[in-house]
Amino acid sequence: MAEDFHHALQFKYDLCIGCAHCTGVCPTGAIHVEDGHPHLNPNRCVDCGRCYQACPVNAIYIEQDDFNTVYDYKYPVLLLPSIFTAQFEEKIKERTILSAIYHLGFKHVFEVEKSVDFIKEEMKKTVHENNGYKPIISTFCPAVVRLIQVRFPVLVPNLYLVKPPLDLTALYIQKLLTEEDNVPAEDIGIFYVAPCAAKIAAIKSPATEEESPVSGVINMNYLYSKVMRVIKQGEYQLCDDSRIRYHRLTKSSLKFTLTTGEVSLLNEGRNLAIDGIHNVSDFLEKLEDEDIQDIDFLELRACDESCAGGILCANNRFLMAERQRNRMHKSPEEIDAEDNDLLNYVDYLSEHRRVLGTVEPRSMDKMDDNVAVAMKKMRRAFEINQNLPQVDCRICGYQSCKALSEAVVNGQAQIEQCVFVQKAMEHAEKLSLSDSIKTTTKIWGTKKIDPAVIKNLNL
């Protein structure tokens, strides 16, 4: 078995109320409840963050690097997704936001999408000749790449193995600073501002063997708060035009981060954009079934409204997408190397455009390494499931009746965890009341069936 996936999502049990909302929304069934709290199966989780959004008490935490490590580098650089500025109200201008960021001590701020002007030319040339597999599936969204690895391994060869804007812009920064400004490589710290957990996970443990050029990660909502505070307290100095000029992006660069951002760069073929992890799952299921044909390119994004809907965005996704579009309307169609000097590094970036190594399928559906054993387990799980109520109530701690039946054959759960089976067994005097309470307590802890409830409800 390959090493476990790294996950940026962590549960805080001290805050968790054991409501199991997270269990229900997970697109890969990675969460089950035991001892009153959710438990994550690291090989199933794809870091999409639906659990984070569903949690009513903010008991899910997204790890980030300590902000102070920024100051460990002589030359700290911020790699900022353009969607960052879209978190703010329209009256706070981009110049103000950038000035406040510089105030925090960064030598340079580069927007991630600077490399999209390079990517758009490259993509038109190469996208339709990707190893003969159709449709080609974008690897821009790391949650989608992992979803394909664990749930749709048949589609792994369809992945378009090119670096996303983040990695290309980081490569350009390294090249620019070491060669033009003669900064020693070890002095440069590139800090990426992440709009979601999946991007963090992809940096900390990439899907291929290639290491990320990013030195550290800062959560977008964290930086938003820090920047807001600087703005509200008016501590910053407005930066001049030369700096602002550096942050001009083309319309298509700004659009890249929104839904249809990639497909609108292509002017040939049948290209489709889908957002929302459950929509993406449904579509991939049909694609795997051979039900959908003749599509050339798929842009798939785990979040509704793409990166404007990232779980670490501080504002409503529709408002953010609106502000991003407003910035697009003010932006030029084309930009030359004078305004985007990344375009001077096209040859270098072309050499490094493809991802080194391969993405491996990591199917989570397999019931056992041995086919004969898998067959037995599958048959047993099928029989068990046929006798379960199909309510998918999740009182057993699992996402569905099917999930419980598989956990039972894998020795991870007891069949009497099903509340209906439990009642039937009690009725037939196969299970004592005290054993049935033990089973429920093992799943949900003691609090939810505390006798004090009777008193509190005046029963």
Partner 1 sequence: MDFTYHVEGGDFTNAGSTSSEVKRMLKKLGVSPDIVKRTVVALYEAEVNIVAHAYRGDINVDLEEDKIRIVLADEGPGIPNVDWAMQKGNSTASPKVREMGFGAGMGLPNIKNNSDELHIETEVGKGTTIEFVNYFN
Chain residues binding partner 1 by CB under 8 A are 153-154, 156, 285, 288-291, 361, 363, 365-369, 371-372, 374-375, 378-379, 382
Give least dist CB 378 to partner 1, A. 5
Q: Are 339 and 243 in contact (CB under 8 A)?
A: no
204-236: burial string, b at 16+ Cβ within 10 Å, e else:
bebbeeeebbbbbbbbbbbbbebbbebbeeeeb
Q: Tokens 């353009």 correspond to what residue?
A: 82
Q: Are 408 and 381 in contact (CB under 8 A)?
A: yes
Q: Which is nearer to partner 1, 156 or 198 (CB)?
A: 156
The packing angle between helices 116-126 and 165-175, to 10°, is 120
The dihedral sign for the CA sequence 153, 263, 119, 109: negative
Give least dist CB 302 to partner 1, A. 21
Q: Are 265 and 290 in contact (CB under 8 A)?
A: no
Give least dist CB 153 to partner 1, A. 5
* Cα angle value 83/88/90 (rounded, 5°): 105
Q: Residue 374 is inside which H or E element, if any? A: helix 371-386
Give least dist CB 26 to partner 1, A. 18
Among the listed residues 40, 270, 11, 278, the one whose alpha carbon sits nearest the alpha carbon of residue 144: 278
| Residue 455 backbone dihedrals phi, psi, to 5 degrees | -70, -45
Give least dist CB 298 to partner 1, A. 17
Q: Which is nearer to partner 1, 367 or 419 (CB)?
A: 367
Q: Which is nearer to partner 1, 330 or 366 (CB)?
A: 366
Give least dist CB 159 to partner 1, A. 13
Q: Are 9 and 62 in contact (CB under 8 A)?
A: yes
Q: Which is nearer to partner 1, 27 or 216 (CB)?
A: 27
Q: What is the DSSP letter of 417?
A: G
The DSSP result for 108-166, as a single string, is EEEEGGGGHHHHHHHHHHHGGGSTT-SSEE--SSHHHHHHHHHH-GGGGGGB--B--HH
Q: Which is nearer to partner 1, 234 or 411 (CB)?
A: 411
Give least dist CB 49 to partner 1, A. 25
Give least dist CB 157 to partner 1, A. 8
* Cα angle value 347/353/355 (rounded, 5°): 150
The packing angle between helices 142-151 and 277-288, to 10°, is 40
Q: Tokens 């440069």 correspond to what residue?
A: 188
Give least dist CB 43 to partner 1, A. 14
Q: Which is nearer to partner 1, 374 or 424 (CB)?
A: 374
Q: Which is nearer to partner 1, 241 or 290 (CB)?
A: 290
Q: Which is nearer to partner 1, 57 or 373 (CB)?
A: 373
Give least dist CB 409 to partner 1, A. 11
Q: Which is nearer to partner 1, 253 or 385 (CB)?
A: 385
What's the burial of 30, exposed, middle or buried (CB within 10 Å: 0-12/13-18/19+)? buried
Q: Which is nearer to partner 1, 326 or 370 (CB)?
A: 370
Give least dist CB 417 to partner 1, A. 21
Q: Which is nearer to partner 1, 248 or 380 (CB)?
A: 380
* Cα angle value 32/37/41 (rounded, 5°): 35
Q: How much of the chain is helix, strand and coil, in % rounded to 5?
A: 45, 10, 40
